[in-house]
Amino acid sequence: MSSLSSETLNTLKSKLKGTVVLPGDADFDEVRTIWNAMIDRKPAVIVRCQSSQDAKEALAVARDNNMLISIRGGGHNIAGNAVCDGGMMIDLSLMKDVVIDTNSKIAQVGPGCTLGDFDAEAQKHGLATPLGINSTTGVAGLTLGGGFGWLSRKYGMTVDNLVAAEVVLADGRLVRASDSENADLFWGLRGGGGNFGIVTRFEFKLYPVGPDVLSGLMVFPFEHAKTVLTRFAAFTQTMPDELNVWMVTRKAPPLPFLPESAHGKEMVALAMCYCGDPAEGERLIAPLRQFAPMIGEHIGVQPYQAWQQAFDPLLTPGARNYWKSHNFTSLAEGAIDCILQYAASLPSPQCEIFIGVIGAQTGRVAADAMAYSCRDANYVMNVHARWDTAAEDQACIGWAREFFAKAKPFASGGAYINFLTEEEAGRVEFAYGETYQRLAKLKGKYDPNNLFKMNQNIKPA
């Protein structure tokens, strides 16, 4: 536990627009709590920043007092890197401003914004950038690890659409990073996680999307899962960039369009979004209905913003979560059989296996163009174990680890760092592949003392 003197704390408070929260304060537990309930850490001090200058002041105090530092954006990271034990949590979650320039189609986004905050402002103008699929995810963490979602096949990864960032460096300087300013830092920020500094502003390209898109779910009984997954694997290899179809297998939640007899039983769902003309989208998704007899369907034209929030009820804060993840270039029969074996033995009603489909535009960027290098990944699988009580930890974590190991022979290289848990430090070099050595050198330049280590850490060369 690192503690600061009263004098140091009072001096810090006097320099902040934001506030300082200490153990014992009424809001301490609320502010330190993050999405994954498995993470229960207690910082010695939390600085709730309201500006880039606040972040600079907090960092200077932490650095000068040799404190462990964690940076909180949305607080959604599975590994819980937003919060540290006994150090300083630099909390950016109050910095939620979004400014949309409709002429340049550029968004300036604060580091505390969630996907929902960003989408809400951009969609007022019928604009969007590729983000994730859960509106409570933080823009900062999502972006720094890569970022992908419904729009990625058409418009690329989130990092492919980052045009600039404002960063507080380990030495306290506030700099701008873009293709023309601090270009090496900009290269590293796009996929290098929080390793190179505190990003206090993001600038993104925007595209005309919505406000309405064709989207929704088709749900199939688990007895037809092998057929559905096999056809899904083939269909997704040839679908146009504007269409994205993902697969999830889990126990059916009580969705109103499903018969009550299906609730709580294993099922396979295809989730889809088409960001072009809805009539054309209907024509393109028609073959999906022939994959197998359906339990139910809920497809229609709805606001893009609503579809971005559709899975929020399954990902609410307060549950215990543990993930394992593989990339795949293609879905071989062995991979499909492995998925179905473990989908048939889910250890809790909230566990699921999902396959996010990327490829298309995400694969047209050179592997060394930026720190995110997994350009051959057409499918990203997340083994999402989720449950409510500590008594279930062993069963749920064991299931995820065993499945991960069995699926490994079918996976491709690299890994999506946003899906790595806190125990997976050994996979970081594997995740980055050939770009890792370049990242280690960059870390040595911008953070030689590894001040920013509460992340999927890249050791300075």
Tens of pLDDT, residues 349-394:
999 999 999 999 999 999 999 999 999 999 999 999 999 999 999 9
Contact 32/43 with Cβ under 8 angstroms?
Answer: yes
Length of the chain: 461
Tens of pLDDT, residues 146-157:
999 999 999 999
Identify the bridge partners of residue 302 per DSSP, sorted by sequence position.
Answer: 213
How much is the mean pLDDT over the chain?
97
pLDDT given for residue 365 in this prediction: 98
Mean pLDDT of 101-127: 98
Identify the bridge partners of residue 220 per DSSP, sorted by sequence position.
Answer: 268
In this chain, the answer to whether the domains covering 6-91 and 98-209 adopt an identical fold is no
Angle ∠(225,352,349) on CA atoms, nearest 5: 105
Selected from 3.30.465.10, 3.90.550.10, 3.30.70.260, 2.40.160.10, the CATH number assigned to the domain covering 98-209 reads 3.30.465.10
Tens of pLDDT, residues 298-346:
999 999 999 999 999 999 999 999 999 999 999 999 999 999 999 999 9
Is the bond preceding residue 293 a cis peptide, omega within 30 degrees? no
pLDDT given for residue 138 in this prediction: 98
User: First CA to last CA across the chain, in angstroms?
Assistant: 28
Q: Identify the band that residue 59 occupies on the pLDDT scale cut at 50, 70 and 90.
A: very high
Q: Where are the domains of the chain?
A: 6-91, 98-209, 212-419
Q: What DSSP element (H or E) covers 355?
A: strand 352-357
Contact 141/112 with Cβ under 8 angstroms?
Answer: no
Contact 217/400 with Cβ under 8 angstroms?
Answer: no
pLDDT given for residue 2 in this prediction: 63
CATH number of 6-91: 3.30.43.10
Contact 353/384 with Cβ under 8 angstroms?
Answer: yes
Of 320, 325, 273, residue with least CA distance to 431: 325
Angle ∠(259,264,270) on CA atoms, nearest 5: 70
Residue 35 has pLDDT above 70, yes or no: yes
Contact 311/258 with Cβ under 8 angstroms?
Answer: no
Of 399, 309, 289, 393, residue with least CA distance to 352: 399
* Separation CA 6–CA 10 (nearest Å): 6
CATH topology of domain 212-419: Vanillyl-alcohol Oxidase; Chain A, domain 3 (3.40.462)
Mean pLDDT of 31-53: 98
| Residue at 18: amino acid letter | G
Mean pLDDT of 213-223: 98
Residue 204 has pLDDT above 80, yes or no: yes
Residue 1 has pLDDT above 60, yes or no: no
Residue 3 has pLDDT above 90, yes or no: no
**Strands 45-48, 88-91: parallel, antiparallel or unpaired by DSSP?**
parallel
Q: How would you write 74-119 as a 3-class SS string?
A: CCCCCCCCCCCCCCEEEECCCCCCEEEECCCCEEEECCCCEHHHHH
Of 402, 447, 397, 439, residue with least CA distance to 417: 439
Tens of pLDDT, residues 405-456:
999 999 999 999 999 998 998 999 999 999 999 999 999 999 999 999 999 9
Residue 245 has pLDDT above 90, yes or no: yes
Contact 334/411 with Cβ under 8 angstroms?
Answer: no
Contact 5/38 with Cβ under 8 angstroms?
Answer: no
* Separation CA 450–CA 443 (nearest Å): 8
Identify the bridge partners of residue 173 per DSSP, sorted by sequence position.
Answer: none
Contact 31/91 with Cβ under 8 angstroms?
Answer: yes
Q: How far is CA 388 from the centre of its chain?
A: 22
pLDDT given for residue 425 in this prediction: 87
